[in-house]
Amino acid sequence: MKFFKPYWKTAVLAPLFKMLEAFFELFVPLVMTHIIDDGIGGGDKSVVIKMGLVLLALAAVGLVASVTAQYFSARTAVGFAKDLKSALFRHINSFSFAQLDIFNSSTLITRLTGDVNQVQTGVNMTLRLFLRSPFIVFGAMIMAFTINVKCALIFCVVIPVLSALVFGIMLGTMPGFRRVRDALDTMIVRTRENLSGVRVIRAFNMQTPETEKFGAENDEFTRRIRRVSGISALMNPVTFVVVNVALVVMIRLGALSVFEGVITQGELIAIINYMSQILVELIKLADLIILITKSFASAKRIEEVFAVVPEAKGEMDVPASSDTLADLKDVSFKYSGAGDYSLKDISFSVKRGDHIGIIGGTGSGKTTLVSLIPDFYHATEGVVLFNGTDVKYLDKHKVNDSFGFVFQNYYLIKGTIRDNIVFGAEGVSEEDIVDALKRSQSYDFVMSKQGGLDAKVEERGANFSGGQKQRLMIARALVRHPDVLVLDDSSSALDYATDRRLREALTELKNVTVFIVSQRTSAVRHCDRIIVLEDGRAAGIGTHDELLETSNVYREIYESQINR
């Protein structure tokens, strides 16, 4: 509700103008009474003309009020949705890696777009109709009582019955619409995986199984939406039946009253018109209730994201550089919801300017280990010190400014090569870019592109090879002049000659601490120290020669690769 605060004036004006429109609309049946009884019944054409002009005036004023109300409601809804999306996007970006693991990216995208748009529509229509429809319903009932109490008593029966039906159906459909949104999330995840992994799916000839899985999820989505739509579809026919039965009863009672001279024909038609107004407004209200039900389901899903409180962030400045860059003491880590530890009892220290290699089999915890040093994840047990201070108490932005990251997954943004190189960096000169390209072995292929640094990059770098993407990502990290460079399996797509030249270029970096995560012994053998991981535990720490003597795991990895 706090997102309405900047728009409270338009949020108040919108329903007020709608009620003004409804107020004039309630006078229409009374004008019709005069036209029928005094004009047509009395044979006075001047009354018909005068009352006709009054009807036109009421219509004109109602039109102006309606357009004004819809302008204010649309302005409120769009502004509200804009602020909500911005706040939701900022909130998601404040999540730690561990909190992002709670939601998959597909459901976050759905909540940030589809669910917010659904809530926006609900706000817009609520401001237009939520006060107008009840005002018309009860206003028409009161106006009917001023004409004839006996006929108007039917309203006292119809309105409670309809209200019970409308709210009963609303309560019955609200959980169903939430399940529909969850099923839609599942479909979006499947679609996203298939589109991003289309090459893998085709390479393994898995189109048919994946199509069948999507079909099953689509059937489940269809089943859920049919069930809830079947319930909500009862709204209009049930409303029509109740109101039309009431109209039949009213016409019967009214005819007798006209015959007895209790009311005039014009008054009977006015009461019927009021009942018709109630019918129209209740149908609108019924549709609004369905829309509000969907909006509440979407709002609940948005609220689930806001309910995740970002982890407390440190505010301390990063201490002045010391000889020891990082120190891990008895560190263990377990992912949220995981049954076992990914890392267990890891201890080592890193001197400033060291080149540290991290090697091990798939799933041994290599990426997890380097993610603990900049505090992407909090250590479950133990302490991670950065420049002598527990990293969780340090300002995350300032810690990240010290790091240059090259992750396993290729991530290039749509734009130009220059845009990708300077991404997240400030005050970068042309010389810095050229130096980063040369050190990352990217300079030659970048300059061979039409446009050079201004050559286009498609979404996710689709127009570059795997090796080219990796080298551009390394250049992006180097252009920041980081104190710590983390290369997480970032040379897997490079040939051995290019990989060797890259390592030689990195050794020329002065006072830069380098972490190299790899499954190749050739990539880490020249490091000052190598950490060997096996099932989340340190199976050896030392130089290449020392580990060949002391670590069976490292020796097996080395021999398996050197003998190929």
pLDDT in 10s for each residue of the chain, 564 residues: 889 889 999 999 999 999 899 888 888 888 888 888 888 877 788 888 998 899 999 999 999 999 999 999 999 999 999 999 999 999 998 888 878 877 777 788 888 998 999 999 999 999 988 888 888 888 888 888 888 787 778 878 887 887 788 778 777 777 887 788 788 878 888 888 888 788 888 888 888 989 999 999 999 999 998 988 888 788 778 878 887 888 888 888 888 888 887 788 888 888 888 878 877 787 787 778 878 888 888 899 899 899 988 876 767 777 766 778 889 999 999 887 777 888 999 999 999 889 999 998 888 888 889 989 888 888 889 999 888 888 888 888 888 888 888 887 777 888 899 998 888 787 888 899 999 999 989 888 889 888 888 999 888 788 888 888 888 998 998 888 888 999 888 777 777 788 888 888 888 887 889 999 988 888 888 889 999 999 889 989 999 999 999 989 899 888 888 755
Q: Residue 551 sits in which domain range?
A: 324-562
Q: Which residues pair with 327 in a beta bridge?
A: 349, 385
Q: What is the pTM assigned to this prediction?
A: 0.71
- Answer yes or no: do 280 and 417 share one domain: no
Residues 6+ apart with CB under 8 A from 334: 340, 341, 342, 380
Report the C-alpha gap between 420 and 441 in whole angstroms.
16
- Answer yes or no: do 297 and 359 share one domain: no
Domain of 181: which CATH number?
Answer: 1.20.1560.10
Residue 413 lies in a domain: yes
Residue 552 lies in a domain: yes
Q: Which residues pair with 336 in a beta bridge?
A: none
Residue 296 lies in a domain: yes
Q: Which residue has the tokens 């970048």?
A: 446
Quick check: 547 and 554 in contact, CB under 8 A?
yes
What are the tokens at 38?
């005094």
Q: In Å, how far are 27, 29, 54, 55, 551 from 58, measured between CA atoms?
A: 8, 12, 6, 5, 92
- Answer yes or no: do 343 and 233 share one domain: no
- Answer yes or no: do 331 and 301 share one domain: no
Pick from 243, 274, 306: which residue ends a domain?
A: 306
Residue 371 lies in a domain: yes
- Answer yes or no: do 212 and 275 share one domain: yes
Give the model confidence (pLDDT) of 454-463 as tens digits: 999 888 788 8
- Answer yes or no: do 344 and 289 share one domain: no
- Answer yes or no: do 385 and 452 share one domain: yes
- Answer yes or no: do 530 and 413 share one domain: yes
- Answer yes or no: do 383 and 507 share one domain: yes
Report the C-alpha gap between 281 and 272 in whole angstroms.
14
The 3 state secondary structure assigned to 311-346 is: CCCECECCCCCCCEEEEEEEEEECCCCCCCCCEEEE
Q: In Å, how far are 375, 490, 492, 509, 541 from 361, measured between CA atoms?
A: 23, 16, 14, 29, 15
- Answer yes or no: do 348 and 246 share one domain: no
- Answer yes or no: do 253 and 371 share one domain: no
Exposed, middle or buried: residue 374 (CB in 10 Å: 0-12, 13-18, 19+)? Answer: buried
- Answer yes or no: do 333 and 264 share one domain: no
Strands 389-390 and 403-406: unpaired
Report the C-alpha gap between 101 and 559 in whole angstroms.
37
Q: In Å, how far are 71, 433, 538 from 77, measured between CA atoms?
A: 10, 45, 56
Residue 165 lies in a domain: yes
Report the C-alpha gap between 537 and 347 in whole angstroms.
10
Q: Which residues pair with 416 in a beta bridge?
A: 456
Q: Cα 349 to the chain's mean position, in Å?
A: 40
Count CB-CB contacts under 10 A for residue 468: 21
DSSP 410-475: ----SEEHHHHHTTT-SS--HHHHHHHHHHTT-HHHHHHSTTGGG-EE-GGGTTS-HHHHHHHHHH
Q: How many helices (H) and strands (E) does the chain have?
A: 22, 12
Number of domains in the chain: 2
Give the model confidence (pLDDT) of 117-141 as tens digits: 999 999 999 998 888 888 888 888 8
Residue 214 lies in a domain: yes
Closest listed residue to residue 328, CA positions, set 386, 378, 377, 367: 386
Domain of 337: which CATH number?
Answer: 3.40.50.300
Q: Cα 385 to the chain's mean position, in Å?
A: 34
Quick check: 473 and 406 in contact, CB under 8 A?
yes
Report the C-alpha gap between 297 and 551 in whole angstroms.
56
Count CB-CB contacts under 10 A for residue 241: 11
